[in-house]
């Protein structure tokens, strides 16, 4: 099962629209549960019951979202594409991407293929600088260890239960970028791998 989530950064909302009658809004990256809007009626789903909701989705919307396999019912499948030494606890997408607890693709969450934004540079303790078009510059900032994650690094592209306060991409000026990379002109960046349709499908940028 793979769900299409969209992170609206200016509004700080994370939503998934299944069809015209059913949608979800994750609260605090899913840590505080989710709001289900079904036929116009809102219901709160506690975080600990999300797996039950995914089973309901699988039973009623499999033709849209696919089939959910409870990770407790079978051994996890190793992820051959991105995390070869870690189990794909929540399954793999049709493209072989690792899925997270909200059933989001690792490709969307990490931009590790550079198909959401092209890389400009990385600074430890600051984050990763990226651009979708060679003009607009964005920073995925640095996170520190917390109670759920014991190492520091750059944020993923969306909030999650580990980093619910992840702001996503933050737009910065050329002057701010040149503080770290004075000799790089973003206009010279090869953005041919960027899929703007995929970017706009999953994100509203600041």
Q: Give the global pTM.
A: 0.89
Q: Identify any residues that bridge with 77 across adjacent strands, giving them in sequence order.
A: 88
Distance of CA 56 to CAs 21, 59, 148, 161, 196, Å? 15, 5, 28, 21, 32
Domain boundaries of the chain, sorted by first residue: 5-109, 111-204
Distance of CA 68 to the CA centre of its chain: 19
Q: Can you give the pLDDT of all 206 residues of the chain as single tens digits?
A: 999 999 999 999 999 999 999 999 999 999 999 999 999 999 999 999 999 999 999 999 999 999 987 665 544 455 444 444 566 778 888 888 889 999 999 999 999 899 999 999 999 999 999 999 999 999 999 887 655 555 667 889 999 988 899 999 999 999 999 999 999 999 999 999 999 999 999 999 99
Tokens of 49: 């019951």
Length of the chain: 206
* Contact call for residues 70 and 55 (beta carbons, < 8 A): yes
**How many other CB atoms are found less than 10 A from the CB of residue 96?**
14
Per DSSP, the three-state class of 91 is coil
**How many other CB atoms are found less than 10 A from the CB of residue 15?**
17
| Cα gap 156→165, rounded to integer Å | 11
| Cα gap 73→94, rounded to integer Å | 20
Complete DSSP assignment for 47-70: GGGHHHHHHHHHHHSHHHH-----
- Phi, psi torsion values for 62, nearest 5 degrees: -60, -30
């Amino acid at each position: 099962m793979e769900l299409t989530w969209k992170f609206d950064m200016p509004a700080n909302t994370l939503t998934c629209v299944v069809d015209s009658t059913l949608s979800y809004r994750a609260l605090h990256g899913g840590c505080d549960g989710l709001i289900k809007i079904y036929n116009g009626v809102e219901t709160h789903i506690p975080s600990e019951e999300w797996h039950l909701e995914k089973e309901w989705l699988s039973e009623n919307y499999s033709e849209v979202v696919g089939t959910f396999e409870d990770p407790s019912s079978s051994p996890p499948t190793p992820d051959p594409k991105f995390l070869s030494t870690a189990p794909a606890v929540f399954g793999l997408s049709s493209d072989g991407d690792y899925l997270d607890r909200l059933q989001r693709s690792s490709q969307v969450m990490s931009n590790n293929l550079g198909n959401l934004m092209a890389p400009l540079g990385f600074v430890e303790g600051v984050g990763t600088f990226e651009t979708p078009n060679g003009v607009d510059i964005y920073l995925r900032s640095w996170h520190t260890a917390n109670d759920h994650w014991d190492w520091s690094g750059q944020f993923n592209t969306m909030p999650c239960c580990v980093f619910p306060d992840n702001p996503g991409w933050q737009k910065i000026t050329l002057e701010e970028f040149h503080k770290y990379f004075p000799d790089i002109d973003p206009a010279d960046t090869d953005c041919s791998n960027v899929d703007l349709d995929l970017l706009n499908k999953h994100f509203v940028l600041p």
